[in-house]
């Protein structure tokens, strides 16, 4: 694929190859992957346009481009992704953090400004991005992060070390199973919420991500129902729960919270004006 071309020409070849394979963001994808190979910021590529790659760099870049042409997510190829102000390690054992989930973090951070030293429980933590960002940016104490996948927890613990968030207690648990009798000021969750029918229609990149982090039984509502049924007993007085929503079922999920006695249930929309986050307070 690549000969003795310089950085500029190699980028052009990679971009054309990705476009030929149906990638709509071929140029930025090619640039991100090359900056990863060269271990430089993407913004510095123009000043290196006449530089030549080593044989090792060309081989690695070719491998990256081939993987991307098969629609593998860039984050899995480079091994890292950005979320909020931090870098997170990711692999095929964890769901890649999305910009939409940053809204959940920002909303909970607003609460922490009004109430200091809140305790926090993060359900379905995956890469650990929510718990780590809240521990780093908020005033949270006694942070516990749960996931049923031991492989996901390995990555979450590594991310905690990378970002110096060393006070988080990571526990293998199926939702609340291993929480015992602890209670928290705040519970957050970004649970699996894609139905089997919705999964069939997802873009190819999402098929690389762990199915158990995406798909939920009961038409995508299984984990919402489980959280709604149990969360209240793990909330302190005046405690609140924040969950990321399946936008297609937002009103249904809101009604389930209301039917189960939660107070002040509200839905917050994302930047695309889609219902994205649900906030609810402990039952009366």
Residue 85 within a domain: no
Look up the domain containing 26 and give its range: 7-70
With CA atoms as reference, report the closest residue to 184 among 117, 137, 264. 117
With CA atoms as reference, report the closest residue to 86 among 154, 19, 164, 176. 164
181-206 residue pLDDT tens: 899 999 999 999 999 999 999 999 99
| pTM (two decimals) | 0.93
Angle, CA 78 vertex, CA 77 and CA 81 arms, to 5°: 110
CATH code (residue 227) = 3.40.50.150
Residue 77 within a domain: no
| Alpha-carbon gap, residue 166 to 244, rounded angstroms | 25
| Alpha-carbon gap, residue 96 to 101, rounded angstroms | 10
In the predicted structure, residue 133 carries a pLDDT above the cut 90 = yes
Q: How many domains does the chain have?
A: 2
24-78 residue pLDDT tens: 999 999 999 999 999 999 999 999 999 999 999 999 999 999 999 999 999 999 9
Owner of token pair 């999305």: 98
Residue 55 within a domain: yes
Residue 86 within a domain: no
219-233 mean pLDDT: 96
Residue 78 within a domain: no
């Amino acid at each position: 694929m690549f000969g003795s071309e310089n950085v500029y020409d190699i980028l052009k070849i990679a971009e054309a190859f990705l476009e030929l394979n149906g990638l709509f963001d071929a140029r930025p994808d090619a640039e991100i992957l090359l900056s990863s190979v060269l271990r430089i910021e993407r913004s510095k590529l123009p000043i290196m346009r006449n530089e030549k790659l080593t044989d090792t760099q060309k081989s690695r870049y070719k491998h990256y481009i081939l993987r991307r042409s098969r629609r593998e997510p860039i984050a899995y190829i480079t091994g890292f992704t950005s979320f909020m102000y931090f870098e997170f390690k990711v692999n095929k054992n964890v769901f890649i953090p999305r910009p939409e989930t940053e809204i959940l973090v920002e909303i909970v951070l607003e609460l922490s400004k009004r109430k200091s030293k809140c305790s926090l429980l993060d359900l379905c933590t995956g890469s650990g991005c929510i718990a780590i960002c809240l521990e780093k940016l908020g005033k949270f104490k006694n942070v516990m992060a749960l996931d049923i996948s031991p492989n996901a927890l390995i990555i979450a613990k590594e991310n905690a070390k990378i970002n110096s968030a060393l006070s988080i207690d990571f526990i293998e648990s199926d939702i609340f199973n291993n929480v015992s009798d602890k209670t928290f000021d705040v519970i957050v969750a970004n649970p699996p919420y894609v139905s089997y029918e919705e999964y069939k229609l997802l873009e190819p990149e999402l098929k690389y991500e762990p199915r158990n982090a995406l798909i939920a039984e009961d038409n995508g509502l299984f984990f919402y129902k489980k959280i709604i049924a149990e969360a209240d007993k793990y909330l302190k007085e005046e405690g609140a729960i924040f969950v990321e929503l399946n936008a297609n079922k937002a009103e249904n999920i809101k009604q389930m919270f209301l039917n189960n006695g939660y107070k002040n249930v509200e839905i917050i929309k994302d930047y695309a004006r889609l219902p994205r986050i649900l906030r609810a307070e402990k039952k009366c």
